[in-house]
Amino acid sequence: MAQIYDRVALIGLGLIASSLAHAMRRDGLAGEIIGTARSVETRDTARQLGFCDAITETSAEAVKDADLVVLCVPIGVMGAIAADIAPHLKEGCVLSDVGSTKRAVIDAVGPHLPKHVHFIPAHPMAGTEQSGPTSGFAELFENRWCLMTPMDANKEALATYRGFWEAMGSNVEEMDPDHHDLVCAVTSHAPHLIAYTMVGVADDLRRVTDNEVVKFSAGGFRDFTRIAASDPTMWRDVFLSNKDATLEILGRFTEELFALQRAIRQGDGDHLHEYFTRTRAIRRGIVESGQDTDAPNFGRGR
Ligand code: NAP
């Protein structure tokens, strides 16, 4: 495939950044990949793994002369990093991020950027419960959605950046940032919170049942434990930065849960059957749309 950017800088070198680097290498999308991370340990590991052409000590050094800069750090630190790198960004470069929420990133990053920079926030809906530079792989973004919230970005810069993600195998869709946050609250954020809660409940139970929860864990619960093993910093920031949409969805969830609770108490089998028939149809729709390529690995498309 043809090279799209001469020089790409990755700020943060965890799961998403290392996967980006592997995919860019595989597809020849970048002339040069420069990476940087907060800790010496991560920088050393990335150097050993060799998925970047150079690793710098600071973000300011990394972004020098880069045509594309991607922030691959937790959402809560993106604003501070944007302020740090802003004076060093090349005229006309694209500044993007991979954060799982978009409104908070736009509010935190946007004000720091000079006018000559094309800001294109993005969210690859792809991930695993692993983190760090050793966890990345080139196929992570294949057949996954990459949602972009470009607002009034330059059309040419946007078309090139879309092409970059498409070249890595992603399907790209543009969206309003608030709508993005609501969609992800339903499809990813609230389900993660429910998984965290379910595993927490089971952990309490485990003390009573003497390890039976672990011993007999299967199907649904095992999937919950995998999701609940996701990075605590990342998910703390997701909930804090998508508060309104997540609370809205959790409110609805609680209402539905109470309705099911009442149906069970009252022995209302018709209600339960109708409800499960409706949810089964939703599941079939997901399978038919081809978004179930990694079943039973529920939770990968975030
Ligand atoms: P990760 O594997 O944990 O890597 C995070 C990187 O950010 C590491 O290089 C880390 O540096 C750096 N970092 C952490 N705290 C920092 C701080 N306070 N200041 C500067 N750097 C810091 O995370 P990831 O899964 O790649 O996630 C990165 C971003 O992608 C997040 O915004 C997340 O919302 C988004 N995202 C994640 C997924 C997913 O499933 N994982 C999916 C879609 C989008 P050190 O290693 O040196 O500590």
Give the tens place of pLDDT for each residue, 7-31: 999 999 999 999 999 999 999 999 9
3-state secondary structure of 102: coil
Task: Confirm or reject: Cβ of 29 under 6 Å from ligand 1.
Answer: no
Residue 14 in contact with ligand 1 by CB distance below 6 A: yes
Give distance in angstroms: CA of 234 to centre of ligand 1: 7
pTM here? 0.91
Q: Is the pLDDT of residue 182 over 70?
A: yes
15 in ligand 1 pocket by Cβ < 6 Å? yes
Nearest CA, atom 42, ligand 1: 127
CA 149 to ligand 1 center in whole angstroms: 20
Q: What is the pLDDT of residues 193-223, one digit of tens each?
A: 999 998 888 877 766 666 677 677 776 788 8
Report how far residue 25's alpha carbon sits from residue 131's, in angstroms, rounded to the nearest whole number: 20
Which token pair is 38?
């907060």
Q: What percentage of residues in the chain have a pLDDT greater than 70? A: 93
CA-CA-CA-CA torsion for 288, 148, 180, 170, nearest 10 degrees? 20
**The predicted structure's pLDDT at residue 301:** 57
Q: Identify the pLDDT of residue 209.
A: 63
Q: What is the number of residues in the chain? A: 302
CA-nearest residue, atom 20 of ligand 1: 38
